[in-house]
Amino acid sequence: MNDRIGTTRDGSVDRVSSFVIRGARILGGEPADILIRDGLLVEIGQGLTGGETVEAEGLIALPGLVDLHTHLREPGREDAETVGTGTRAAALGGYTAVHAMANTEPVADTAGVVEQVWRLGQEAGHCDVRPVGAVTVGLGGERLAELGAMADSAARVRVFSDDGKCVSDAVLMRRALEYVKAFDGVVAQHAQEPRLTAGAQMNEGAVSGRLGLTGWPAVAEEAIIARDCLLAAHVGSRLHICHVSTAGSVEIIRWAKSKGWDVTAEVTPHHLLLTDDLVEDSPVGSYNPIYKVNPPLRTRADVEALREALADGTIDCVATDHAPHPVEDKETEWAAAAMGMIGLETALAVVQEAMVDTGLLDWAGVAERMSLAPARIGRLQGHGRPIEAGAPANITLYDPSVRAAVDPAGYASKSRNTPYEGLTLPGRVVATFLRGRPTVLDGKLT
Ligand SMILES: [Zn+2]
């Protein structure tokens, strides 16, 4: 049996089990060769031989990226995304593992559904898919789902979230936090007090006032985060906060961490770059629902606070909240449009723009926040390991030196709702290796 995977002269791909990545700058350091064999990183050094050569001069080598927050939409909304298309987008973005959110149709609230999503990921093979289990049955916010059965299933669920909806009932949230302790799970809260955000359309502030759109106050997020930090501390459990978007949220999380509580948090690329005034005036006009997202884009001061918090570790990681929607759900009037943006294929570029090129993070810091920390929070084995001999060969090769206009035409995602179209962004993912097998080479799927 032929067991080489590589690009042959006629462009077809066959199997190779050994690669030498030549001259890559691991976490931005000095150039080195990386020898990969049988799915593992075997050796790092100079002048290595013993496999198909991948030229990586000038490229940054990062551990394969891990996303804690991806909407793959399957089962149920295959018109927006499938596990196949979403994981292709993930691989092209440099990801080797994604956590698939539970708000599918049917909801991923049983062992059966999470195993189905996990199996679809395995069959697609572009990156590992770890399903997130719903906290409550049908995301209904009334009864706990079968958390233990999902944890014990083949999908080995460790992250539980009603994302898209907030677990607003304090008693249910307390019970969920208590329950997941049995299997070292974590509840990932979508912090949105429902009564304070009824009918909300965009960040509550000067812009929403001028545009006459119902405001989404920062306090609706901050009140839930404060409550849940207190609850997690009270029962001694782990809490993760999804897509933090306000400066006030950062202050509360900083305070909770200062108490030694087991609270972690994520921020999306779009909340690190974009602001609410785009709704009023942007390259694509005003009231363009491409900027409609949950939680909403906030102010410049919030963006500055989020960047600072990601740099100092108050916010642990970057998570895409990749939220694909078909054209008919986005290209409509503002009030009727779906909330959400795609993000897998632009995440690293946006983080470079917002965090690296601004001097706030180095590449080791990016690796921690886009690979190590999310794998740790999700208790995901085999991912988020430093690039060193003996680790699984999950590697992303990235060229930070290029800059190009964002063009979603070539995206692998089934949806096109990117807020970056027409902007120029830095960087390009050149290759992604999943357990020693290239899923992306030369910027293209293998
Ligand atoms: Zn959410």
Nearest-angstrom CA–CA distance, 322 and 418: 10
Run of H or E residues at 445: strand 444-445
Nearest-angstrom CA–CA distance, 86 and 70: 9
> Which pLDDT belongs to residue 215?
98
276 contacts 297 by C-beta, under 8 angstroms: yes
Nearest-angstrom CA–CA distance, 343 and 348: 9
DSSP 144: B
In this structure, which long-range contacts are made by residues 115-120, counting pairs with CB atoms below 8 Å and at least 24 apart in sequence?
Answer: 115/153, 115/154, 115/155, 116/75, 117/72, 117/74, 117/75, 117/83, 117/155, 118/153, 118/154, 118/155, 119/154, 120/74, 120/82, 120/83, 120/84
Residue showing tokens 């995440």: 347
| DSSP-assigned letters across all residues of 278-295 | GGTS-TT-SS-GGG--SS
CA of 31 to the centre of ligand 1 (A): 39
Q: Could you tell me the two tokens for 225? A: 């985060």
Run of H or E residues at 209: helix 206-211
> Which pLDDT belongs to residue 4?
39
| Sign of the dihedral through C-alpha 305, 309, 315, 316 | positive
Nearest-angstrom CA–CA distance, 362 and 359: 7
Burial of 386 (0-12, 13-18, 19+ CB in 10 A): middle
CA of 243 to the centre of ligand 1 (A): 7
Nearest-angstrom CA–CA distance, 82 and 75: 8
CA of 414 to the centre of ligand 1 (A): 20
DSSP E strands, 288-416? 317-318, 395-405
267 strand-pairing partners: 318
Report pTM. Answer: 0.96
> Which pLDDT belongs to residue 15?
60
Assess whether the previous peptide bond of 31 is cis (omega < 30° from 0).
no
CA of 164 to the centre of ligand 1 (A): 4
CA of 224 to the centre of ligand 1 (A): 13
Please state, as a whole number, how many other Cβ atoms lie within 10 Å of the Cβ of residue 254: 16
Q: Which of 162, 321, 329, 399 is catalytic?
A: 321
Nearest-angstrom CA–CA distance, 372 and 360: 18
Run of H or E residues at 428: strand 424-434
Verify whether residue 3 is a known catalytic residue. no
CA of 163 to the centre of ligand 1 (A): 4
In this structure, what is the dihedral angle of CA atoms 227, 241, 255, 293, given to the nearest 10 degrees? -90
360 contacts 311 by C-beta, under 8 angstroms: yes
pLDDT mean by block of 10 residues, the chain; 446 residues: 38 67 98 97 96 97 98 97 98 98 98 98 97 98 98 98 98 98 98 98 97 97 98 98 98 98 98 98 93 98 98 98 96 95 98 98 98 98 96 98 95 97 96 98 97
Per DSSP, helices labelled H in 368-418 are: 373-377
- In the chain the first and final C-alpha atoms are separated, in Å, by 20
CA of 190 to the centre of ligand 1 (A): 5
CA of 298 to the centre of ligand 1 (A): 15
